[in-house]
A and B are shown apart, each in its own frame.
Chain A
């Protein structure tokens, strides 16, 4: 986790309301940890810091260590900063058979980053991910919440270039 003394985090009023709603939604309040991490990640530019974990511990009244271990276990919670458009390219077997890895390399090359890096303007980051259930429409990429399927290196770059 990237930490500096300056790191601060506080949920917005809306985010706090969402977390409170999740706390009441399930049989145990621990079940709200994953939903709360999603809310907080969205409000913290797509990644989680120690400050985020501490804030959630406070508002949820759950030990920080408990939230931290859940955060670290699941890959959808980012431990490092990501771009405004977080590009995730599937490189698992069905996509690999249809050019998923070449697609990931092409996107990295075109954007001038390595896997896991963020572009200088902060707009994009690229990572490779495991099977996302788009095997019949390979290769594919997920950008933030959205799937883009049956891609070619060119069509993928056209989609990305169209993103502000």
Chain B
């Protein structure tokens, strides 16, 4: 069953506009927050246990706590570069509830003492950008943005920045480089953005869903928010369910919800005559689960970590028994090779080799030792680069090859897919 905390009013068209948003409690919590002490808001967010919803799952309150305790100007940046394959929740949130994000951002900006924020939206999201820009204008007119917000003495300006098609800009230091008008290449940490970020100033980068959730922590209090979800993964989360299920879509459930229920109840189960083969539970970078593993998994940070994978962005990609895992790994490696920013050798070269090796197997030119070569290359890419893209490419390889080795070996031996009906089988045989 869904638990609609953030998405309660997403079905209402009026919720996209200021009047409709206000009818359903909009900006009441901004007024409440502005009467609180900024440190009190940070403490509340820390106590709520809210974890970053973009992928890393880091404690939001702790991230805010890394800001220097001085009067240096600081920035708040909303990461709306949603690019993790399988993820489409931030798009929904921006299209259906722009003011929810804006209100969450103003509250967060007040808490961290930022007078300027940006929403960095991926370039392809033309419509979300339009919706946000219109909503920001409404917020300015109504006095929720600009000088002396609601008579509190707090000033805040907000603007939207459109990216231009680069997965790497979802990495927070890559995003900052892009916002500064550079190539979107990540930077070595430390210094972390909270200390030196946008224009070398302290900067907090949070995901759309994280910032929107802050509003509900202010509304209900940390103790009430903690009642949702599990002890280590409090709250609700929007899961983007895609792939071979009957009813793909975004579903908001309590963290700790069984993956099986998400697929069978919300997702309507598998298509007629099809069986579950595998699930990627947290976006394409998360190691894949076999059907058996998936049936036992629950959707929270700790359970998925114990299962050797991760919750990531909450993109649940369902793969049925008509799909070829060698083929799917080929799709993923093409992606990571395309998106490597080229700074670090293990990633730039490694993603290229992984892509080449998988595709040579797909073309029927593979050798048995290529399967181990994939593992060797992937192993050498882990933990050796500035950002996590290299690991993100290596993890699917290691999990696909380990868990579905029979399909890889069959492909090499026979020069064709073990699964009839796969794309390569149709195209080449």
Contacts and interface: CB of A to CB of B under 8 A. Distances in A.
Contact of B85 (A26, A92, A102): A92
Interface stretch (A4-12, A51-59, A127-135, A156-164): A127-135
B181 A33 contact: yes
B164 A37 contact: yes
Interface string B243-256: 11000111000000
B88 A134 contact: yes
Interface in A78-98: 91-94, 96-98
Nearest to A70: B183
B159 A25 contact: yes
A69 B178 CA distance: 12
A101 B84 CA distance: 19
Contact of A34 (B84, B178, B244): B178
B179 A76 contact: no
A92 B284 contact: yes
Contact of A38 (B164, B244, B328): B164
Given A74-B164, A92-B335, A135 B181 contact: no
Nearest to A144: B126
Given A92-B331, A97-B323, A102-B423, A74 B85 contact: no
A137 B248 contact: yes
B242 A101 contact: no
B257 interface: no
B93 to A, nearest CB: 11
Interface residues of A, number: 42
Interface stretch (B61-69, B117-125, B226-234, B345-353): B117-125
A146 B241 CA distance: 23
Given A30-B182, A70-B183, A130-B339, A135 B248 contact: yes
A76 B165 contact: yes
Interface centre among A31, A34, A73, A132 (most CB of B within 10 A): A73
A74 B166 contact: yes
A30 B199 CA distance: 11
A78 to B, nearest CB: 10
B49 interface: no
Contacts of A101: 423
Nearest to A99: B423
A20 to B, nearest CB: 16
A133 to B, nearest CB: 4
B124 A132 contact: yes
A101 to B, nearest CB: 6
Contacts of A118: none
Interface SS majority for chain B: mixed
Contact of B180 (A31, A35, A96, A102): A31
Contacts of A92: 85, 284, 331, 335
Contacts of B46: none
A110 B319 CA distance: 29
Interface string B336-362: 001101000000000000000000000
A74 B248 contact: no
B407 interface: no
Nearest to B331: A96
Interface in A13-60: 25-35, 37-38
B213 interface: no
Interface centre among A33, A69, A76 (most CB of B within 10 A): A76
A92 B338 CA distance: 11
B249 A28 contact: no
A30 B165 contact: no
A135 B315 CA distance: 9
Interface string B370-391: 0000000000000000000000
A41 B341 CA distance: 23
Contacts of B155: none
Interface centre among A25, A34, A77 (most CB of B within 10 A): A34
Contacts of A102: 423
Contacts of B326: none
B86 interface: yes
Nearest to B124: A132
B83 interface: yes
Contacts of A135: 85-88, 240, 242-243, 248, 315, 317
B162 A28 contact: no
Contacts of B84: 131
A51 to B, nearest CB: 20
In the complex, the 7 A-B pairs of residues with the closest C-beta atoms, listed nearest first: A30-B181, A74-B164, A135-B242, A76-B165, A75-B165, A94-B242, A131-B85
16 contacts: A28-B199, A34-B162, A34-B163, A73-B183, A74-B163, A91-B331, A93-B284, A93-B332, A94-B86, A97-B319, A97-B323, A97-B328, A98-B244, A101-B423, A102-B423, A131-B84
Interface of B: 82-88, 90-91, 122-127, 159, 161-167, 178-184, 198-199, 240-244, 248-250, 280, 284, 315, 317-319, 323, 327-328, 331-332, 335, 338-339, 341, 423
Given A93-B284, A135-B86, 13 more contacts: A25-B159, A26-B161, A26-B181, A38-B164, A94-B86, A94-B242, A97-B317, A130-B339, A133-B82, A133-B83, A133-B122, A134-B88, A135-B240
